[in-house]
A and B are shown apart, each in its own frame.
Chain A
């Protein structure tokens, strides 16, 4: 399974690179928007179908109930703490690094937003950092699932409501579908708020550091 994923990823990168640099066979957006969205919508439907048919998965979900909210909260706190530690180790602006990590993998939001608040350099870093989070989640899923059943969900952050969801379900089982989707959804919703909140905290505390 993972070798199919990694092969598809590698071929995709090469095809995209060749298509972009050596004459476009197809429009870039056709693949990265149309094909991407079509396969994603099909997958969400199929995953829902499998989940709905699975008696065990649905009854387990009912037992878990509101506890599932614990997952996105833990991911948000973990990501921000990771940003703080990273900022301290790499001697970066700790508020900016916390804010960049609070994108939870949503790079198309974090890049532009960080760029607006902290400048172009942080915009690029916010983009690449969150993009790598998504990529690492896909690449390491088979290892992560050995650490903890929910570790791939934690790793995926906001991406577990779309890109990484099908892979997580394949590896962790159909019963994680709702936990993963809702965690990704909640993190997607709170990402812009936490980034802006950390940014305003930075402004408030800047006299202390100057």
Chain B
């Protein structure tokens, strides 16, 4: 995943929430463009780390299909359980 500790993720998030809360009544700024650009940069660098990881790429032909089947199953069951649980506790 990454070399950041959970704290380095929580701090900017909380700072943003608090600042947003206090800026509520002020004029609205559109952050759509900023976040879209940052998402593109983030996904690009994720792709970059995949493309430059020769170990990962080399292991793909051997275990790729097994890993794909298993990851799809993990996703399907997770989605199913969350859907079920959400209905159970009546979560919006």
Chain A positions near chain B (C-beta within 8 angstroms): 1, 4-5, 8-21, 28, 31-33, 35-37, 39-55, 58, 60, 63-64, 67-68, 70-71, 73-75, 77-79, 81-83, 85-86, 89-90, 92, 97, 100-101, 106-109, 121, 124-125, 127-133, 135-138, 144, 147-148, 150-151, 153-155, 157-159, 161-163, 166-167, 170, 181, 185, 188-189
Contact = CB atoms under 8 A, between A and B. Distances in A.
Given A5-B43, A53-B24, A89-B69, 16 more contacts: A4-B39, A16-B50, A50-B16, A51-B20, A53-B28, A70-B86, A74-B78, A78-B74, A86-B74, A101-B71, A108-B1, A128-B67, A150-B82, A151-B83, A154-B82, A162-B2
B44 A185 contact: no
Given A52-B21, A166-B42, A45 B51 contact: no
B19 to A, nearest CB: 6
**Most B-side CB within 10 Å, residue of A42, A67, A100, A154:** A154
Contacts of A101: 70-71, 73-74
